[in-house]
Amino acid sequence: MTNRDRTGIPAAYISAPASGKQGTVKEVVYPVNNYINSSRQLVTDRNIDAGEAGRDTVSGDAIMKSCNVYLPAGYDDNDPDTHYNVLYLLHGVGGDQYEWLRGGIEGGNSILCNMLDNLIASGDIDPIIVVMSNGRSSHDWTDCSFNTQGTNMLGFYYFDYELRYDLIPFIESTFKTYAKIQETSPIAVEFNRTHRAIAGLSMGGMQALNLILGGYRCDSASIAGRESSWSNGLVTTVPARGMTDLFANVGAFSNAPTSSDGTILGTSITLSGHKLRLLYMTCGDADDISINCYEQSIEGLKDIAGDYLDKFYQVTIKDGVHDFDVWYSGAYHFIRLIYGNGGGRDTNCAASGRRTACY
C-alpha cells in the first residue's frame, strides 16, 4: 500500500493486530444451480423466462464452486445468541475469489483482513462476515482469461441469479447471519436487506451497479453481430432486474467500462420500490480505465433516483489509478459508513487528495 494519506486509511489499520484479535478465512464449497453452460444457455432450477434472461434457459446438473469467507475473531458456530452483518466483495475481470485477499500483504497477512480485524478490535464497527466469491457464473468459472467470446466472461453478467438463488441461501444457512433469505414477509425483507451489503472493484464494481442496482447485461459483440461501442468486444443485451430487494447498501470502486449510465441506474432504483440506504462510488482521477465510465454512471443517477436513494457518496482520489490503493480505500470507508459505530461513521473525507461529495 502507498499513498495512505490520500486514501484516508490509518497506517496502524494496515498492520496485523494481536493474534487474539485476528479473524480467520475459510474456503467453502457450495452448489450452483444457476450458471451459463458451454452452449451459452442459462442453466437454472427456477422459472426464469428466456426473454428476461436474453437467452435460452434450460435445466441441468449443479456445478460446485468455492468462495472465501472471513469470520471475525470470536466467531462461534455454537453461540446461539450472536449474529452478524454480511458484506459480499466482488473481484475484477482477471481476478477470482482470492483477489481481495492477495491484493496487498502486510506482515505476512492480507491487508483486507488486517483492516477488518483493526476496525472490529477498535470498536469502529461491529464484527462482520465478509464473503469473497468468484463472480463468474459459468461452467468454466475457474478460467480467469480475458476472452470476450468466452462463457467465463459471459458468466460475469449472470452472477445475480447465482447470488440470489445459490450463494446467499448457502451463506445464510451455513453461517450466523442476521439476514435470512427464506423469510419473505415485508418486514423481514426490509430487515434482511439492511444487514447485507455488496461492493466490487472494477468488473465487480460493474456487477454492483448493473446487477444489483439494475443495468444491462453484456455479451460478445461478434456473437451478437453488433459493433462494440466500448471497442472491447462487448455489447449490451437485456436489462437485469436488480437486487435492491436484497441489498440496501452498495459500493462500486473503479467500476468497469461496461457499467450502465446514471440515467439507467437511477431509473432502476426508482422502479424497484426499495429505498437504497447508501451508494458509495469511488475512482482515481488518473485511472484511464474507469474514470470516464465512473463519471457516466454518476451523471443523473441521484436526480432520477430521488427519494429512493438516501446517501450517495462520490469519492475521487487525486492521482489514483486502477489499483488496490483506491480499492482498499473504498472498502475501508464503505464498511465504516454502513456498519460504523459512532465515530466510525466519520470517514475522514478531508484526507489529503480525496474529493468527496455526499448527497
Report the pLDDT value the prediction gives residue 344, as an integer from 0 to 100.
40
pLDDT band at 348 (very low <50, low <70, confident <90, very high): very low
Provide the pLDDT for residue 352.
47
Q: What's the angle, vertex CA 133, arms to CA 272 and CA 260, rounded to 5?
A: 40
Q: Where are the beta strands (DSSP E) in the chain?
A: 24-32, 35-36, 42-43, 57-58, 63-71, 85-90, 105-106, 109-110, 128-132, 196-201, 216-220, 234-239, 249-253, 276-284, 309-317, 354-358
Q: What is the rounded average pLDDT of the residues 309-327?
A: 97
- Of 313, 337, 323, 351, whose CA–CA distance to 111 is shortest? 323
Alpha helices in 227-322 (DSSP H): 262-272, 291-298, 301-305
**Predicted local confidence at residue 75, as pLDDT:** 98
Q: DSSP string spanning 63-117?
A: EEEEEEEEE-TT--TT-SS--BEEEEEE--TT--TTHHHHS-EETTEEHHHHHHH
Give Cα 177 distance to the centre of its chain. Answer: 18
The residue-averaged pLDDT of 303-314 equals: 98
Nearest by Cα to 353 from 321, 311, 323, 331: 321
Residues 6+ apart with CB under 8 A from 245: 189, 193, 272, 274
| pLDDT at res. 190 | 98
Residue-by-residue DSSP string for 254-278: S--TTPPPHHHHHHHHHHH---EEE
Mean pLDDT of 150-173: 99
Q: What is the pLDDT of residues 75-129, one digit of tens each?
A: 999 999 999 999 999 999 999 999 999 999 998 999 999 999 999 999 999 999 9
Say which residues have a Cβ less than 8 Å from residue 66's Cβ, sequence separation at least 6. Answer: 27, 28, 29, 30, 97, 134
Tally of domains in the chain: 1
Q: Are 327 and 103 in contact (CB under 8 A)?
A: yes
CB 248 within 8 A of CB 282: no
| Res 1 pLDDT > 80 | no
Q: Rounded mean pLDDT of 32-44? A: 99
- What pLDDT was estimated at residue 264? 99
Tally of CB atoms within 10 A around 183 = 12
Give the pLDDT band of residue 7 (cuts 50, 70, 90): confident
Amino acid at 178: Y
In this predicted structure, the answer to whether residue 6 has a pLDDT above a threshold of 80 is no
What span, in angstroms and rounded, lies between the C-alpha atoms of 359 and 343? 20
Q: Does the pLDDT value for residue 353 go beyond 90?
A: no
pTM of the model: 0.95
What grid cell was written down for 305? 433516483
Look at residue 349 in the predicted model and tell me its pLDDT: 46
pLDDT digit string (tens) for 182-237? 999 999 999 999 999 999 999 999 999 999 999 999 999 999 999 999 989 999 99
Q: In which domain, by residue range, is 273 found?
A: 4-358
pLDDT for 252-284, tens place per residue?
999 999 999 999 999 999 999 999 999 999 999
Q: What is the CATH number of the domain that holds 346?
A: 3.40.50.1820
Quick one: pLDDT at residue 343? Answer: 44
CA distances for 348 relative to 1, 40, 101, angstroms: 18, 46, 24
pLDDT at 8: 86
* Average pLDDT along the chain: 94
Residue with grid cell 427519494, as numbered in its chain: 307
Q: Does 345 score more than 70 pLDDT?
A: no
| pLDDT tops 60 at residue 315 | yes
